[in-house]
Structure 1
Amino acid sequence: MEITKNQLKRYSSLLEEWIPKEASIAIAVKDQYIYYYAGEHDLQLKEGQKVQPGSIADVVLKSGCRAEAVLDDKLFHIPYYGVGYPIEINGEDAVLVVILPPQHSVKKFQPFRFLTGKKEDEWKPVPIEKIEYMESLQKKTWFYADGETYKTTIPLKDLQKRLPDNFIRIHRSYIVNISFIDRIIRDFSSNLLVVLTNGTELPVSQSYMAEVRNVLGF
């Protein structure tokens, strides 16, 4: 099925209200994408490509309702924030998906001011600004502050939604407080490493490379 510029005009008023320049736009009918415009945050979708189960497009096509979510890199090898709108094209149910970097997610809750972590048999509330980084390890979530290690029951993906802007996801397993970044270097394989002020070195995965460069400006 072909889609023309005239058909897209019916959605232009909706798009122009809030879509930034880095957004990509995808349109799918039935079980495949029929249109894709690649912005700066590019999932590299192709016209004719099948809609992946669990994607924003899939959710909207099945439910017929607007949907939004931050998805990790499992589907497209790059994390993204997507908003899908049910539409109709040539009498058929379709979906328009706006694709943005994860940090564009609308935060529905106030950012955390502290996290309560468990250390041995004690629980301690730790001010969020003192936390150096957070880690997902062996299906548990840990955070580090003032040389101490704490465990929390909140998964990284949920923490990310309520962290202040000075926290950045650099890897599926790591979220870092930018205030504690000392420098960024390359390892022997030319991959980026974030070096914290305490000497800890954390890898930047390829999936989060563009976001890290964009936020930190290098």
Structure 2
Amino acid sequence: MKKNELQQITRIIEEWIPKEASIAFAIDNTYYYYSSGRHDIRLKEGQSVEAGSIADLTFKKNSKVDALMDDSLFGVPYYGIGYPIDMKDGLGVLVVILPPNYYSLINEPLRFITGRHNDMWYPIPIEKINYIESFQKKTWFYAENADYSAEHTLKSLELRLPNSFLRIHRSYIINIQSIKSISRDFSSLLITLIDGTKLPVSQTYTNSVRTVLEF
């Protein structure tokens, strides 16, 4: 497939997907074309397909693949959807790259998290949780001036939280409704919650935070 043909296909696809989305075409385990949206994972044309990426999994399974990916491959977390394309010269793959919060838009979100506090278990409604933290290999969440330990990992929670929650750091997921203000902390962002908690936004998540919060 010629590059100008891929550009035409991309223009059609872009009318149906969010402006945040980036689009990649891979042929023979090489990225042949890349069109960056607002959520840019900075792929390069001619770059080899990375082991464990959405494109790699789609090539191997020869079927649609979707997954929430962390920042280990491209330095930016993303939700990717891969589609195999049969071509006369072999198998190609189309990958749509979206911000991580889009995963929760198409999957059944959690309505509560059950946490342990003072040797008792409490199901806490999602909307009452201010933020969730990974600390010393344990997961904690904070609601109504109390802290609770949870059996879930931060990664598994991220997959099922509604889009009112936002990953801002390897160790933190916040409830957007609990944000009081956002300020600069040297070259980074600092989020202050309504309970007074201050949490840093890591460089890895700065672009996705700006995209979701639209600033």
Q: Does 1:193 align with 2:190?
A: yes
**Alpha-carbon contact 2:84-2:91 (below 8 Å) kept:** yes
Shift of 1:11: 7.9
Deviation by residue 1:155-191 (Cα, 9 ceiling, x = unmatched): 222222332332211112111112222211222x331
The aligned counterpart of 1:6 is 5
The TM-score, its normalising length taken from structure 1, stands at 0.89
Distance, in Å, in 2 between the alignment partners of 1:109 and 1:4 is 34
Q: 2:61 aligns with which of 46, 60, 63?
A: 63
What's the % identity of the aligned pairs? 53
After superposition, residues 15-30 of structure 1 pair within 5 angstroms as 15=13, 18-30=16-28
- Report which structure shows greater RCO (CA 8 Å, sep ≥6): 2
After superposition, residues 1-218 of structure 1 pair within 5 angstroms as 3-6=2-5, 15=13, 18-105=16-103, 107=105, 109-187=107-185, 189-218=186-215
Determine helix, strand or coil for the equivalent of 2:73. coil
Distance, in Å, in 2 between the alignment partners of 1:60 and 1:109 is 20
Determine helix, strand or coil for the equivalent of 1:105. helix
Distance, in Å, in 2 between the alignment partners of 1:39 and 1:149 is 38
**Alpha-carbon contact 1:3-1:34 (below 8 Å) kept:** no
Deviation by residue 1:49-101 (Cα, 9 ceiling, x = unmatched): 11111100000111111101111111101111111111133421111111111
The TM-score, its normalising length taken from structure 2, stands at 0.90
C-alpha change, 1:172 and 1:67, in structure 2 (3 Å) is same
C-alpha change, 1:130 and 1:100, in structure 2 (3 Å) is same
Amino acid at match of 1:197: I
Q: Please give the root-mean-square deviation of Cα atoms over the aligned residues, in Å.
A: 2.1
**Alpha-carbon contact 2:104-2:162 (below 8 Å) kept:** no
Distance, in Å, in 2 between the alignment partners of 1:197 and 1:166 is 15
Distance, in Å, in 1 between the alignment partners of 2:9 and 2:166 is 37
Determine helix, strand or coil for the equivalent of 2:101. helix
C-alpha change, 1:116 and 1:31, in structure 2 (3 Å) is same
**Alpha-carbon contact 1:166-1:178 (below 8 Å) kept:** yes
Determine helix, strand or coil for the equivalent of 2:114. strand
Aligned length: 215
Distance, in Å, in 2 between the alignment partners of 1:212 and 1:8 is 29
C-alpha change, 1:106 and 1:179, in structure 2 (3 Å) is closer
**Alpha-carbon contact 1:86-1:95 (below 8 Å) kept:** yes
Distance, in Å, in 1 between the alignment partners of 2:15 and 2:213 is 27
